[in-house]
Chain A
Amino acid sequence: MQESLPDRRTRMTKVLSINKSPEDGLKELLRFLIENGKVKGVVALRKMGEYGAISYSLITNPGDIESTVPLFPLMPVNLAKQLSLLTLIEAATEPIAVVLRPCELRAFVELVKRTQGSLENILFISSTCGGVYPLEMAVEGNIGEHLPKYWKAVGQGELVANTRLACRACEYFVPYTADITVSLLGNKSIEKETTLFLNTEKGESIVEGISGKFSEGDLDTTTMEQIRSKRKAEKEKLSDEVELRNLGIDEITKTFSRCIGCRNCSKVCPACYCHVCFFETETSQHGPVYYERELDKKGCANMLSDTIFYHLVRLFHVSTSCTACGQCADVCPANIPLWAISLKMGEAVQKAFNYLPGKNIEEGLPITTFVPEEFAGIV
């Protein structure tokens, strides 16, 4: 997909610099927002107790900001799904600030298009994203050891070793609709300085009164394109490794043969928003007659045979909105490279509709937007 990176050429973007590392600078911003009543609460990653588990948390007390780790390279849940839960019944009644990754933000925009949440009253803070480590690494508990290497690679705009494969292959590391973007990737001064791009009027006005240096500027397009080329090359390489060049029926059958039918990929997927999945309804359950017919026909019945059907239907349903966050692959008990399959499928479908999920809230969903002339060749 040849979607361009966010372009703000119409005018230079306001930039706020804070004399601290990005994590501390961001915490200062969050504290400032709560203390000055600019927002009522903040949603950010937080260290839960001594045990060290990292989870998103809704925080209203400025004193609790210290325990947040807003840029910690882990995605315990895709926040889009949680923001949908928070704003499903009603939009945020008070202003809140949310720190999330570009793919989470895009996924949330998609959910809002599908009326599963509301953008209202939310200040979106995102970053040029270096990716996250797999959940497996959180389980092993050694992400801490990797952090120095992580930040070094991010500052230099290099691929970060051992991050999620989906992240290593991600081309959309620059957020599209964030009010504020923290410049991380390829930002050589991230050790001592927080650079915040104030992309929207909301972003500009909300930081008024904070102590820091204001200027104007833009993300360095050349650096971003260089990083993008590296990611693209890595994507090609990883696709080869998971042997997904030709997704024919044989490859699909083989790839999904390990599936245990738990459907956890759908449960954690921000694009899978159905309250009751078709595959969990009575309609999709077989009766004894089905098994008798299978036995008559083939002499045997694989009790996990519907899993491929499930995956194909799921891919079909989510492909226009998949932001390739990789959460599905991370939670798969059978280690199926779901990220690569979703990515490949998503890219193809999104390209066909010239649509990038979550890029623009105004852009209608391909499936709900009827264009009479479209796909004339097929019709």
Chain B
Amino acid sequence: MSTNLKGALLPAEGGAQKGIINFAKQALKQGVFDAVLIPSRVPAGDSFAYFLIRNEAVLEGASPLSPIMPVQGARVISSITRRGKGNNRIAAIMRPCEARATIELAKLGQVDLENITIITIDCPGVIPLSDYFRDAGKGDKVFEDASQNWNSEPMRPVCRICDKFSSVGAEDLHIGIMGAKSGSILLVPHNPKGEDILNKMGLSLEGDVNDWEASVNKLTEERKQKRNQSNQALRSDIAGIDRLVETFSACINCHNCMRVCPICYCRQCHFDSDKMKFSFEDYLTRAEARGGLMVPTDTLLFHIGRMLHMSLSCVSCGMCEDACPMAIPVAQVFTLVGDRNQGEFDYVPGRSVDEPLPLTTFEEEEFLEVEQSYAGVSARQENQND
């Protein structure tokens, strides 16, 4: 996090959530935006969805700190802007991992950011869908209690090890709710677009950001450690082909991890295409060669293929794991692999919209050690052939 951040304090007497809603209402009233995209409770009361809201009264019932993430916000922004930026200037109030995935989708040509202002919130995490839907009332209570103390225990496993729960730098404006003086929230702009919002709203950048920064930094460090430990532990559980096969052996090939993933944007997944339909003869041959063919087929190939395609942009949001009917720790596995792959390229998905995707950036000098080892192998082979 940059050290010379400035922020504006906004009173939030009824708590952070109320403060955020009031801020959004003011912004709408003052014509800073035409609409606000924000999670809200559905009319039936037992779930949440993103609502695009212009009406201030409707905004009153919004839940920016919803206890669950039924849909990843990046997907929502993609569905609004993929076919054109439209005329509405929209403020998207979302969690940091949703903002980061939005940035990745913008780089992948699936989001048009021109009319979108991304506003992130310090995120206490979300509780798993399966826990919540067992008893929504209880879920609300569990989340409320835990989020007030920044206790991540009841949250998604990847939320517990999330070290990017606060400002990520790619958003236009961040809302700090952590450690902010009680009864207020902190508005931290990250670029001229964000500063412009506060200017228009007549908010000056005189708030004290030190407390907030200190709390964020402290938890970030704790989470980093936890993340490393968790990655290491998982690594010893799943490394090697046998353990990998075992980890995914319960997979029923429903591809729901892919469909809820904000990064998996292909209109037609290769693994759902006719390319993956084979002749009976082919299946029989494979069964004979391997001593049995698991039906559904090619489940592990799907996961590895998906991993290869999206792990550089994976933001560890945990949607995949929540949507898996077999409770395979998909998000944890992808976090482990994503961290490592992203580290190789010194790339943080969603950190900056200007940072190009690693695979679209060719650098001649990169990964020489990999190249050389192959050169060595082929030289040895040539020697043997001589």
Contact = CB atoms under 8 A, between A and B. Distances in A.
Interface of A: 40-41, 43, 46, 48-51, 53, 55-61, 64, 67, 76-77, 79, 82, 85-94, 135, 138-139, 253-254, 257-258, 260-264, 267-268, 275-276, 280, 282, 285-289, 291-292, 294-295, 298-304, 330-331, 333-335
B179 interface: no
A373 B35 CA distance: 54
Given A49-B245, A260-B70, A291-B86, A85 B277 contact: yes
13 contacts: A51-B249, A56-B296, A58-B292, A59-B291, A60-B288, A258-B70, A280-B267, A286-B79, A287-B84, A299-B55, A300-B52, A303-B37, A331-B254
Interface stretch (B3-11, B128-136, B185-193, B331-339): B128-136
A90 B280 contact: yes
A205 B59 CA distance: 71
Given A49-B245, A260-B260, A268-B254, A285 B76 contact: no
A335 B281 contact: no
Interface stretch (B38-46, B118-126, B143-151, B213-221): B38-46
B259 A263 contact: yes
B47 interface: yes
Contacts of B294: 48, 55-57
Contacts of A89: 277-280
Interface residues of B, number: 70
Nearest to A303: B50
Nearest to A296: B54
B327 A139 contact: yes
Nearest to A87: B280
Contact of A334 (B45, B47, B292): B47
Nearest to B45: A257
B218 to A, nearest CB: 34
A288 B249 contact: no
B322 A333 contact: yes
A60 B289 CA distance: 9
Nearest to A282: B267
B251 to A, nearest CB: 8
A254 B83 contact: no
Given A139-B327, A260-B260, A303-B76, A288 B87 contact: yes
A58 B53 CA distance: 52
A88 B50 CA distance: 40
Given A262-B323, A303-B76, A335-B133, A257 B85 contact: no
A93 B323 contact: no
B52 A57 contact: no
B280 A253 contact: no
A139 B326 contact: yes
Contacts of B246: 49-51, 53
